[in-house]
Structure 1
Amino acid sequence: MRASIQLAAAVFFVWSSTAYCIVSMTVPVSPAEKGYESDLGMGWERLHKFALQVYPDIRRMLVPKPAGLEPGDVEAIRNFRRDFQIGMFFAKQIKLADGQTLFDFLMHCSHGMDAANMANIGFDQAGKPYISLQYFPHLRSASSGEDMELNILFRRDGATIKPESPAFSTSILTTPDYLQIHGVRCGR
């Protein structure tokens, strides 16, 4: 246990000009995901269809309503729903340090789903696309019980998923007692 905390601490504070940390995980690239780079629009739609085929329960999830989205804007609502569902597809594949998936953590520990939980396409400085993953679990302070929201930000390049922030995003992958380390408990 002590070795894992020391390892997490060593990884936790590694900074560079191009990346926040050296932690990463490998998640195989799906056949539908391989083509998204060549045709971003249609490739993203194919990935969405694939996600719903692999995990049909994602289709039945209640998608939170984002603030500022006009009720009559069917295209914006459809795109938001798609990005949320693709985000849940990846959350089901990300294994946390305590053995559960990120999806299970969001479903069973977070107090509700955040409208900002999603996947979208980002671009690096050279213009190469990557998949940006963001999740905002609603947790509680372990000491006061007040609502807290921590961010979990990842970047997917090919089969590699790496944290985009040095704090909670990193420790959730490296340290089984990540909730205690950050002074939070489940929000449910």
Structure 2
Amino acid sequence: MLNLVLFGPPGAGKGTQSQKLIEKYQLVHLSTGDILRNEIANGTELGLEAKKLMDQGILVPDHVVIGMISNKLDSNKDAKGFIFDGFPRTVAQAEALDALLASKNTAISGMVALEVDDDELQKRLLLRGKDSGRPDDANPEIIRRRIDEYNSKTAPVASFYKEQGKYHSINGIGSIDAIFAEITKVIGNF
């Protein structure tokens, strides 16, 4: 089973590369952002709480996210693997994910980190915000907060996977196909 953490700051291209990886490797996409947006669209209590936090650029509590991921894993027992897009975002989440996967007799195969500098991220997110309609992509102050949140809280997750020998860095600037080719080379070594 291929369980891949696709890692990088907001706007690094995780969503774009996820789609290509899903098609090539027939993985189930686990995007916490998509799961949360679905909860918001359905107007659930969790969705309303999550929307309030997301609109401020604040992370949703770990136990909520882990519970949603566990449900998604259980509902896809015959999957060839999973791609974790935008999760884990903290070392505590990485530890919880490892424990959750171990309880289901599997593990993370590797982490692929898309590296993109902060200025490029801001440009990409503002551009995406024009099309997506997402308020967190249209406001430069919220974008800056999201990038700062990533740099202070999420980037340390890379060290967690480095210690396990599962971390692989890819330059996230270039053509979509060139970046994808680099990612598939890395996956070929898992």
Going by fraction, where is helix more abundant, 1 or 2? 2
Q: Under a length normalisation based on structure 2, what TM-score does the superposition of the two structures give? A: 0.28
Q: Which has the larger radius of gyration?
A: 1
Q: Which structure is richer in relative contact order (CA contacts within 8 A, separation 6 or more)?
A: 2
Normalising to structure 1: TM-score of the pair?
Answer: 0.28
- Pick the structure with more strand per residue: 1
